[in-house]
Amino acid sequence: MSIRLSLIILFLVFLSCKDTNKQAIETFNPALKPSALIETFRYQPHASPWISAHRGGVGIANYPENCLETIKYVNDSIAAVFEIDVAKTKDGVLVLMHDNTLERTTTGTDKLTKYTFKELQEFQLVDDFGTMTNFKIPKFTDVLAWSKANNAILTIDIKKSVDVAEVIQVIRENHAEDISVIITYDMEQARKAYMLAPELLLSVSARNQQELEWLLKSEIPTHNMIAFTGTKLSDTSLYHNLHKNGIKTMLGTLGNLDKQAEAKGDSLYIKWQKLGIDVFATDRPFEAAKALNIMK
The per-residue pLDDT for range 182-218, each reduced to its tens digit, is 999 999 999 999 999 999 999 999 999 999 999 999 9
Q: Convert the pLDDT of each residue in 275-296 to its tens digit.
A: 999 999 999 999 999 999 998 7
- Beta-carbon contacts of 248 under 8 Å, excluding residues fewer than 6 positions away, are 41, 42, 43, 226, 227, 242, 278, 279
What's the pLDDT score for residue 32?
A: 79
CA angle 96, 102, 108 (to 5 degrees): 115
Q: Which range has the worst mean pLDDT, 5-14, 94-103, 219-228, 230-239?
A: 5-14
Q: What is the pTM of this model?
A: 0.89
> What integer best gives the mean pLDDT of the chain?
92
The SS3 of residue 27 is helix
Name the helix (H) or strand (E) containing 228.
Answer: strand 225-228
Asked if pLDDT for residue 13 goes beyond 90, the answer is no
What's the pLDDT score for residue 1?
A: 46
Indicate the pLDDT class of residue 27, thresholds 50, 70 and 90: very low
Asked if pLDDT for residue 249 goes beyond 60, the answer is yes
Q: Which range has the worst mean pLDDT, 25-29, 64-68, 285-289?
A: 25-29
What's the pLDDT score for residue 71?
A: 98
Q: Which range has the worst mean pLDDT, 2-6, 99-103, 245-249?
A: 2-6
Q: Which range has the worst mean pLDDT, 5-19, 24-38, 232-246?
A: 5-19
Q: How far apart are CA 154 and CA 27, in angstroms?
A: 26
Mean pLDDT of the 226-230 span: 98
Mean pLDDT of the 247-264 span: 98
What's the pLDDT score for residue 31?
A: 62
CB 283 within 8 A of CB 76: no
Q: How are beta strands 153-158 and 248-252 bridged, if at all?
A: unpaired
Position 287, amino acid: E
What's the pLDDT score for residue 187?
A: 97
Mean pLDDT of the 84-101 span: 98
Q: Which is nearest to 198 in space by CA: 211, 182, 185?
A: 182
CB 193 within 8 A of CB 164: yes
Q: Convert the pLDDT of each residue in 28-44 to its tens digit.
A: 445 679 999 999 999 99
Mean pLDDT of the 171-184 span: 98
Kindly state the percentage of the chain with pLDDT values over 70. 90
What's the pLDDT score for residue 97?
A: 98
Asked if pLDDT for residue 149 goes beyond 60, the answer is yes
Higher pLDDT, 17 or 151: 151
Asked if pLDDT for residue 5 goes beyond 70, the answer is no
